[in-house]
Amino acid sequence: MDLQSYFADLHIHIGKDWNGRPVKISGGKSLTVTNVLKEASRRKGMDIVGVIDAHVPEVQAELEEFLTKGHAKEHKDGGVCFENTLLILGSEIEIYDINCRGPIHVLCFFPFLSVMKDFSSWLATRMTNINLSSQRFYGTAEELQKCVKDFGGWFIPAHVFTPFKSMYGKGVDKSLTDVFDATMIDAVELGLSSDTEMADQISELHVFPFLSNSDAHSLNKIGREYQEVLLEELSFYELGLAIKGKSERKINHNYGMNPRLGKYHQTVCNHCQKNLSVYQTPCPNCGSKKVIKGVAERINELSTNSVNHPSRPPYIYQVPLEYLPSLGPKTYEKLLERFGTEMDVIHHASLEELQQVVPEKLAGAILRLRNGDVAIEAGGGGRYGKLKGDS
pLDDT 10s digits, 98-128: 888 879 999 999 999 999 999 999 999 999 9
Burial (CB < 10 A; 0-12, 13-18, 19+), residue 284, is exposed
Could you give the residue range(s) of every CATH 3.20.20.140 domain in the chain?
4-258
Residue 250, beta-bridge partner list: 230
Q: Could you tell me which residues come within 8 angstroms of residue 121 by beta carbon, excluding any fewer than 6 positions away?
A: none
pLDDT the model gives residue 83: 97
Mean of the per-residue pLDDT values of the chain: 94
Banded pLDDT at 155 (limits 50, 70, 90):
very high
Banded pLDDT at 391 (limits 50, 70, 90):
very low
Q: How far is the CA of 229 from the CAs of 89, 202, 206, 242, in angstroms?
A: 18, 24, 19, 6
Q: How far apart are CA 31 and CA 35, in angstroms?
A: 6
- What letters, b where the CB count within 10 A reaches 16 and e where it falls short, cover 165-181? bbbbbbbbeeebeebbe
Q: Are strands 48-51 and 73-74 parallel, antiparallel or unpaired?
A: unpaired
Q: How open is the CA angle 262-27-380, to the nearest 5 degrees? A: 20
CATH assignment of 4-258, given 3.30.2320.80, 3.30.450.20, 3.40.50.2300, 3.20.20.140?
A: 3.20.20.140
Q: Are strands 48-51 and 4-12 parallel, antiparallel or unpaired?
A: parallel
Q: How far is the CA of 153 from the CAs of 140, 144, 147, 187, in angstroms?
A: 17, 11, 9, 12
Evaluate if residue 306 carries a pLDDT over 80. no
Reported pTM: 0.95
Banded pLDDT at 180 (limits 50, 70, 90):
very high
Q: Which of 149, 151, 162 is nearest to 188 (CA)?
A: 162
Q: How far apart are CA 37 and CA 58, in angstroms?
A: 16
If you compute the radius of gyration of the chain from its CA atoms, what whole number of angstroms results? 21
Could you give the residue range(s) of every CATH 1.10.150 domain in the chain?
320-371
Are 113 and 89 in contact, with CB atoms under 8 Å apart? yes
CATH class of the domain at 320-371: mainly alpha
Q: How far apart are CA 67 and CA 234, in angstroms?
A: 17
Q: How far is the CA of 217 from the CAs of 63, 112, 220, in angstroms?
A: 19, 24, 9
Percent pLDDT > 70 in the chain is 99
Q: Which of 137, 80, 155 is nearest to 112 (CA)?
A: 80
Q: How far apart are CA 159 and CA 161, in angstroms?
A: 6
Banded pLDDT at 319 (limits 50, 70, 90):
confident
Percent pLDDT > 90 in the chain is 84
